[in-house]
């Protein structure tokens, strides 16, 4: 299996359609924690729906318009990171993350995001990485800050989760600001 180490016992690796049962089980176990932030946390309720969702990202990867990766801790799926948007023509991508509550506080999301940003800027030549999160998701905002992103503003009622429109904070990082450590370059 292809993987990239994040921390002792933790890796970032592809999450693919053939892993749908594991993905569905992880979501079921952590649905209450994830549901306030992720619309798919409540719509992916079985392996078939998980497989369809992961297939969309496999197709996006083939089309070079998105990617989905697992965060694994001691081999177990505990979270993920994805390029929800990946537009090579404009040079802009949007990075998203999710993590089970039992894996929080270990720096896994920040480490995974750093690897994704390094790849987007270094290997793919992207110009801008965006990070969007509900204004109420303070843990997500803290990661964006640790990554050295700039808070650009709020898109009012722009994202629907469970039928409720949420205000979304927008953060970004430009290629010439990235130094690879998660801090803006001087």
Distance CA 49, CA 53 (A): 6
Residue 34: predicted pLDDT: 96
Q: Which residues have CB under 8 Å from 118's CB, separation 6+?
A: 178, 180
**pLDDT greater than 90 at residue 162:** no
CA 66 to mean position of chain CA atoms: 11
Lowest mean pLDDT among 19-28, 67-76, 138-147, 162-171: 162-171
Give the pLDDT mean for 89-110: 97
Q: Are 172 and 152 within 8 A, CB to CB? A: yes
Mean pLDDT over the full length of the chain? 94
In the sheet where 128-134 sits, what is the strand order?
4-7, 10-14, 67-73, 76-87, 92-99, 128-134, 164-174, 150-161
Would you state the pLDDT for residue 117? Answer: 97
25 has pLDDT over 80: yes
First-to-final CA distance of the chain: 37
């Amino acid at each position: 299996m292809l993987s990239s180490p994040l921390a002792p016992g933790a890796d970032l690796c592809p999450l693919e359609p053939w892993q749908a049962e594991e993905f569905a089980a992880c979501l079921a176990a952590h649905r209450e924690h994830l549901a306030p932030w992720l619309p798919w946390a409540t719509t992916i309720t079985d392996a078939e729906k998980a497989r369809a969702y992961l297939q969309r990202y496999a197709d996006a990867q083939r089309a070079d318009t998105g990617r989905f990766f697992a965060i694994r801790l001691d081999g177990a799926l505990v979270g993920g990171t994805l390029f929800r948007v990946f537009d090579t023509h404009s040079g802009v991508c949007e990075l998203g993350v999710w993590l089970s509550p039992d894996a929080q506080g270990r720096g896994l999301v920040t480490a995974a995001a750093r690897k994704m940003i390094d790849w987007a800027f270094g290997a793919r030549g992207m110009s801008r990485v965006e990070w969007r999160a509900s204004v109420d998701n303070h843990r997500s905002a803290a990661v964006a800050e640790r990554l050295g992103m700039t808070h650009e503003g709020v898109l009012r009622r722009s994202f629907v989760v469970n039928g409720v429109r949420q205000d979304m904070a927008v953060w970004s990082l430009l290629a010439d600001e990235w130094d690879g450590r998660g801090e803006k370059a001087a």
